[in-house]
Amino acid sequence: MNASDSYMAGRLTRQFVKVIQADATSTRGQRNVIDGETELLQGFEFNINGRLPGTLYAPFTATINRVTGALTVDVPPFVPINMIAAPAGATHCKLTAAAAEIDFEAETFINDTTGSGDIVLGPEVTVGNNLELTLTANSTKPLFLAFGIEFYQEVNGSMYLLKSGAFNAMQLVKISSGV
């Protein structure tokens, strides 16, 4: 919600049409997401105005372990002032991750979200962040892992999400098709 633009739904729909059109096993008119290529969604930016690669320069590793149901984004220590393109007025940020297991046939889903603690946008090296999410172990459904960043301003000891979400970024960084 905090990292999307007003055209996100239309852009996502357009990408899903490409996924459905990639279904080479079903007949025309019967094509579906399950038999398509969900990996075509990898790299999808939820906020076209605040892209993750143009906002967060710190390296990270995204992994999906189908056996355990663990989805992780591992971000080693970094210097925020050098590795984050923060908007004016931001004093802090949080790294966020979301995971979803989607059953397209039953039209149901299971999701999990997590985030880092407050990260000061300064010259001090951060601690490493290992954002771990849990979905169903041994799932046969497609799994999606999104990673992003939100910006905050500290005022009188309280954190406030910046009103303009134009700089918040989130991207689908890893996808594992159903088995």
Give me the domain span that covers residue 130.
Answer: 8-176
Residue 73's closest CA among 6, 141, 130? 130
Query: Dmax of the chain from CA atoms?
Result: 61
Task: Go through 63-96 and write b for each residue having 16 or more CB atoms within 10 A of its CB, e for each that does not.
Answer: ebebeebebbbebeebebeeebebbeebbbbbbb
Q: 171 vs 7, 149, 174, CA distance in Å?
A: 15, 10, 9
Q: Is residue 1 part of a domain?
A: no
**What is the pLDDT confidence band of residue 26, given thresholds at 50, 70 and 90?**
confident
Q: Is residue 112 part of a domain?
A: yes
How many distinct structural domains can be found in the chain?
1
Q: Is residue 3 part of a domain?
A: no
Q: Is residue 145 part of a domain?
A: yes
The structure's pTM equals 0.89
Mean pLDDT of the chain: 90
Q: Which percentage of the chain shows pLDDT scores above 70?
A: 95
Q: Is residue 2 part of a domain?
A: no
What's 148's domain CATH number? Answer: 2.60.40
Q: Are 128 and 140 in contact (CB under 8 A)?
A: no
Highest mean pLDDT (candidates 30-34, 94-98, 158-162) = 94-98
pLDDT of residue 166: 75
pLDDT of residue 105: 87
